[in-house]
Amino acid sequence: MALTWSARFGFGRAQTSSRTYRVGYLGYTEATAPDEVDGWPAFVQRLGELGFVEGHNLALLSRYAEGHDERYADFAAEFARLGVDLVVVASGTAARAVMTVSPATPIVTVAVPDPVRAGLIASLARPGGRVTGISNLADDLTPKRIELLKAAVPSVRKMAFARCPGCALSAGESAAQVDARYAQYAAAARALGMDLLPLNVNAASDFLAARAIVHRERPDALLIGATQINVALRTEWLALAAEQRLPVMAPYRGFGAMLSYGPDFVAIYRRAAEFVALILNGANPAETPMEQPTKFELVVNLKLAHAAGLEIPQALLLRADAVIR
């Protein structure tokens, strides 16, 4: 697929040049973000295959918000001072920070939810500005995650859902849209004989309140929403689940949960590297169509399931793309 994409847009290896390209990266949490654990090495490797070798003709500058979105503006300003050639971002908030500080700097997104709704681009087919890359259908996967968690643990009657309504609001949704989306999720759970228990976590400081709700309401399972703040709180969520012996469905394989269903981030980061190479070789982001993930994977961690005293149905194991034993 990568060769087809490369041929379509006409890039191969880096153009001959004695210069060193500077590429900035704005991520969630250093070294622990589940999408980055496997994705980042794949990103660097693919760039090398395309002729952009770190330490030779490429300098990679990584900065992490650690759950504090306000830091993105400072990092964007730092990148502007350093004269980076391009910035790779893992969130719409980071993209907007770069667009505000240095509107001429090209931006490549890595699985950013609905970039059109967020105001980052005009359309997927023709972005029309300085942003292109990979979008993400994270919200659309929530009903599927609910279904898979129920299939893994049929006895679940109350499923806690760690969500960030404030994230959706900041991405451009109205309060009515946020409420309607949650209503859809709750309806999907009810159709499977479950109640959905919302855990609203818009900032790291909200986690203690969410933890108290779990202790009080005693849900049977925990569904982790695909939000930046949940990535930053990954360790806390997994510790809470272990303490309460809750089966967990996470949005990414690298989260380290009993179950995960989401995009293949190795493939996404490799594709993002191709976008970077394309732009460094002179392509115009405004005319470079954005793409959506095409490969999704269900991962089951039997070690964690057995530690929680659970047996995963064979039918689900046969559907899994990977089973960790």
Q: What is the pLDDT of residues 152-199, one digit of tens each?
A: 999 999 999 999 998 777 666 788 888 998 999 999 999 999 999 999
Decide if 136 contacts 294 (C-beta within 8 A). no
CA distance 89 to 110: 6
Note the pLDDT of residue 31.
53
Note the pLDDT of residue 174.
82
CA distance 132 to 288: 7
Class of domain 139-261+297-324: alpha beta
Neighbouring residues of 187: CB distance < 8 A, sequence distance ≥ 6: none
Q: What is the pLDDT of residues 197-227, one digit of tens each?
A: 999 999 889 999 999 999 999 999 999 998 8
Strand 296-301 and strand 195-200: the pairing is unpaired
The residue length of the chain stands at: 325
Note the pLDDT of residue 32.
53
Decide if 262 contacts 298 (C-beta within 8 A). no
Nearest one of 223, 217, 225, 269 to 247, comparing CA atoms: 223
CA distance 86 to 98: 10
Decide if 268 contacts 134 (C-beta within 8 A). yes
Global pTM value? 0.82
Nearest one of 135, 94, 138, 312 to 230, comparing CA atoms: 138
What DSSP string runs through 187-206?
HHHHHTT-EEEEEE-SSGGG
Distance of CA 70 to the CA centre of its chain: 19
Note the pLDDT of residue 255.
87
CATH number of 2-136+264-295: 3.40.50.2300
Note the pLDDT of residue 18.
75
Q: What is the pLDDT of residues 123-139, one digit of tens each?
A: 999 999 999 999 986 56
Q: Which of 78-87, 109-118, 147-156, 286-295 has the lowest mean pLDDT?
A: 109-118
CA distances (Å), 322 to each of 25, 253, 264, in order? 29, 10, 12
Domain segments of the chain: what residues? 2-136+264-295, 139-261+297-324
CA distance 200 to 205: 11
Decide if 48 contacts 55 (C-beta within 8 A). no
The DSSP element (H or E) to which 244 belongs, if any, is helix 234-244
If you average pLDDT over residues 53-76, what whole number do you get?
A: 92
Q: Which amino acid does the sequence have at 63?
A: R
Using CB atoms within 10 Å of the CB of residue 206, give its burial: 0 to 12 exposed, 13 to 18 middle, 19+ buried.
middle
CA distance 194 to 94: 36
Q: What is the pLDDT of residues 270-287, one digit of tens each?
A: 999 999 999 999 999 999
